Amino acid sequence: MKLKPVNDKIVVKTKSKEEEVTDSGILLPDTVDQGKLMEGEVMAVGNGMYSASGTLIPVVVDVGDTILYNKHAQLHECDDDLVIMSVNEVLSIVED
């Protein structure tokens, strides 16, 4: 499936998260750690949003960027490992 996001939306491929298991072998659901950040790779980027005066405000991420976002952000899952989100949900771009 090929996606072309519109406006300030981006398509992100989520990086698989390791399951957390306690020392006694209990598998912890992902709802246990509310503050954990998710990591993903930007796969597609919209053109940006227009301001009230008609100026195009570009998106601040590029295809290929690794980003961090909150796992409870406004996400729209479109596949097992692809999500669509607003660029406003991005907390940080990971740089080497």
Domains and CATH numbers, the chain: 1-16+43-91 (2.30.33.40)
The string of DSSP codes covering 46-94 is: ---EE-TTS-EE--S--TT-EEEEETTSS-EE-SSSEEEEEGGGEEEEE
pTM of the model: 0.78
Residues 15, 34: Cα–Cα separation, whole Å? 18
Q: What is the pLDDT of residues 10-46, one digit of tens each?
A: 999 988 666 667 778 777 666 555 567 889 999 999 9
Q: What is the pLDDT of residues 51-94, one digit of tens each?
A: 999 999 999 999 999 999 987 777 787 777 899 999 999 999 99
> What local confidence, expressed as pLDDT, does residue 73 receive?
74
Residues 95, 29: Cα–Cα separation, whole Å? 29
Cβ contact 38:69 at 8 Å: yes
User: In sequence order, what are the residues at sequence separation of 6 or more whose Cβ sits closer than 8 angstroms to the Cβ of residue 93?
Assistant: 60, 61, 65, 66, 67, 68
